[in-house]
Structure 1
Amino acid sequence: MNTRDLAYFSALVELKNYTAVAARFSVSQPTITVAVKRLETEFNATLVQRDRAHNTLTITRPGLMLYQRAQMVLKDLDLAHSEVQRADQSTIRFGMPPIIGTLWFPLVAGELFSRGLLKYVETLEMGSGYLLQELLAGKIDVALLGSVRPLNERGLDATLLGAHEFRAIVSPEHRLAPRKRIAFAELANENFISLTGKFVHPQALRDYSQFAGFDPRIVYNTPNISLIKALVASGFGVSLIVGDTIHASDKVVALRLSDPVADRFNMSLVVRKNFLPNEIQREFISVLFGLRHHHEA
């Protein structure tokens, strides 16, 4: 079977037009027609039904099934091309969200430097949700990711390095500041300052709020945790952030939460299941595993 035929057929399913598919691949329309016929012969099934009188095209159920499988095949093929072309390169394409880069990556940066590995690293700092998709697409090789639950993503190997509790933070003058522990429902009437994004902190805020039975009144979103703490310290609102980000110099009060919500800031070391690291990449990954010992200490 010709994988090019699968690419032509997949485009036909999406565009529903032979001429448009031919134009996309810069080939003649009969080339697309012959490719579809080859696939129908290969699978002994009608994949496409054409109504020439009304100039319509319908993808049959076998055609839709093949399309779904073809997407996986073509994606894996693209990934194989990328990995084979980079097999002898020493570059380490590495991703981590800014909060991990600030709090935990420095714990192993010294060892990476002493081993001469940092010079090989190309770092992409983005949110965990974005990095997860980049990892699946083969655009980065290894990542440190945050999630509210331990990661269990098809096609990825994830090793949990540490789990960190979330805290509600309020100003020292806030009515709840004298308390050490609160129920999240006690914040129902507060203004919330939230981290932007779709993955960890916003998800934790949604989960705690849902358990407490209210919709948080978010008055400001920012990707900057330092700004969040400064705004909370000034009394502008309250927030929910991972406890490790809070320091005495922040002039905020961190409150434990009594709610039985399972959300944690789970930090995981993640690679693709089919990723074959070279010697330099293996050594880099081995050093990152050392973060687990820092969390256990």
Structure 2
Amino acid sequence: MESGSNDLRKALLHGKIDIALLGSDEPLSYKSLITKEFDRHAFKIFVAKNHPLANKGAVHFVDLKGLPFILLSEGFVHTQAINKLANRNHMRLNPVFRSTDVNLVLNMVAANLGISFLASITSEQRTDVVALDLLDDDQPEFITSIAYRTAHVLTPAQQNILALLDQHLMQK
């Protein structure tokens, strides 16, 4: 199942899925879930290569006031993180488009239709967008974890999947 982390977490908590790779902006802590954090990345602002901010390298979030945003849909942890930054900076965001497809978001940013807010790992293969650091203090991070329910008895196949994930992701 592929979806935003908020939707996956709900599906996991309601027993619709057994194991999930989840993103969060804070460490996960649920009595009914076993979670193992394996990675953290900064959130960045993504702009087209020819955008006026592209050569800045870094910006304060408040400097983005009034700019059109192309964002991931509500089910993604990115929404929580950007809303926190907007609230801290007393800003109202201007989302012109939302999608569940990161590549579509980046294609629209590359076409200079707006800017975006994504985890830094997003653009490692893109040359048509520029990732800007955020200069704000106390920024949210994109935390990636493996999670499964404490009450779920793992099948042998699920145990193998967790062992593989543990071996390849947790050893980074």
Please give the TM-score of this superposition, normalised by the length of structure 1.
0.55
SS in 1 for 2:6: helix
Task: Output aligned runs, 1:123-142, within 5 Å.
Answer: 124-142=1-19
Q: Distance in 2 between matches of 1:222 and 1:150?
A: 25
Instruction: Flag the structure with higher strand content.
Output: 2
Contact 1:211–1:261 (CA under 8 A) maintained in structure 2: no
Q: Name the amino acid aligned to 1:292.
A: M
% identical aligned pairs? 31
- Aligned residue for 1:227? 104
Number of residue pairs the alignment of both structures matches: 171
- Aligned residue for 1:167? 44
Contact 2:108–2:114 (CA under 8 A) maintained in structure 1: yes
- Aligned residue for 1:270? 147
Gaps of 5+ in 1: 1-123
Structure showing greater radius of gyration is 1
**What do residues 121-143 of structure 1 show as CA deviations (whole Å, max 9, x unaligned)?**
xxx22222222122122222111
* 1:241 and 2:100 matched: no
Instruction: Flag the structure with higher helix content.
Output: 1
- Aligned residue for 2:170? 292
After TM superposition, give the deviation of residue 248 of structure 1 in Å: 5.2
- Aligned residue for 1:188? 65
* 1:256 and 2:133 matched: yes
Aligned with residue 30 of structure 2, among 148, 153, 162: 153
Q: Distance in 2 between matches of 1:249 and 1:136?
A: 35
**What do residues 229-283 of structure 1 show as CA deviations (whole Å, max 9, x unaligned)?**
1111221111101111103534011100111234111111111112222333222
Task: Output aligned runs, 1:58-77, within 5 Å.
Answer: none
Runs of 4+ in 1 over 2 A off after TM superposition: 247-250, 278-281
Q: Name the amino acid aligned to 2:54.
A: A
- Aligned residue for 1:204? 81
Q: Distance in 2 between matches of 1:278 and 1:172?
A: 47
User: Which moved further from structure 2: 241-250 or 142-151?
Assistant: 241-250
Q: Distance in 1 between matches of 2:84 and 2:66?
A: 17
**What do residues 53-98 of structure 1 show as CA deviations (whole Å, max 9, x unaligned)?**
xxxxxxxxxxxxxxxxxxxxxxxxxxxxxxxxxxxxxxxxxxxxxx
SS in 1 for 2:85: helix
SS in 1 for 2:62: helix
Contact 2:3–2:75 (CA under 8 A) maintained in structure 1: no
After TM superposition, give the deviation of residue 192 of structure 1 in Å: 0.6
Q: Name the amino acid aligned to 2:5.
A: S
SS in 1 for 2:96: strand
Please give the TM-score of this superposition, normalised by the length of structure 2.
0.91
Gaps of 5+ in 2: none
